[in-house]
Amino acid sequence: LPRTAELLVALLAVQKSGAGYVPLDPQHPAERLGYVLTDARPSLLLTTRATAEDLPGTPTLLLDDPAVSAQLATQSSEPLEVVHDGRTPAYAIYTSGSTGRPKGVVIPRAALDNFLTDMSARVP
């Protein structure tokens, strides 16, 4: 996955677009990653060249591809008009599950918003 700064920008972009995300750890076994991707059925995978080959089968946007950077540089910086509410999924996290198979838990935007509001008060 991207370096820390790139990861934060990608996460913010996903949230601002109104989409949700599923974090993947490239250190996890290929079988687990494949299961999560099959179960979550993401419409797009944001990643880098280094990890893309380990995550086949999903449309991919390579964040470190010069052609992608060039195309993004020509895009409008106008804010998106996204309509969502607190029930809109912010992300889905996969736990080990009681059966040993990963289980997806969807976290709604309201929960993420509450967490970030609380953290901004604790860590100004």
Please indicate, yes or no, if residue 23 is contained in any of the structural domains: yes
For residue 88, give the nearest of 18, 35, 29, 28 by alpha carbon. Answer: 18
Q: What is the CATH number of the domain that holds 42?
A: 3.40.50.980
Please indicate, yes or no, if residue 75 is contained in any of the structural domains: no
pLDDT value at position 17? 86
| Share in percent of the chain as helix, strand, coil (round to 5) | 40, 15, 45
Please indicate, yes or no, if residue 90 is contained in any of the structural domains: yes
Please indicate, yes or no, if residue 108 is contained in any of the structural domains: yes
Please indicate, yes or no, if residue 14 is contained in any of the structural domains: yes
Length of the chain in terms of residues written: 124
Please indicate, yes or no, if residue 29 is contained in any of the structural domains: yes
93: its two tokens:
């996290």
Please indicate, yes or no, if residue 18 is contained in any of the structural domains: yes
Distance, CA of 34 to chain centre: 16
When the pLDDT of each residue in the chain is averaged and rounded to a whole number, the result is: 86
Q: What tens digit of pLDDT does each residue of 39-62 get?
A: 999 999 988 888 887 776 788 888
pLDDT value at position 109? 93
What's the mean pLDDT in 15-39? 89
Higher pLDDT among residues 34 and 97, named by residue: 34
For residue 36, the enclosing domain spans 4-64+86-122
If one counts the domains in the chain, the total is 1
Higher pLDDT among residues 40 and 6, named by residue: 40
Q: How far is residue 13's CA from residue 116's CA, in Å, rounded to a whole number?
A: 16
Q: How far is residue 45's CA from residue 23's CA, in Å, rounded to a whole number?
A: 10
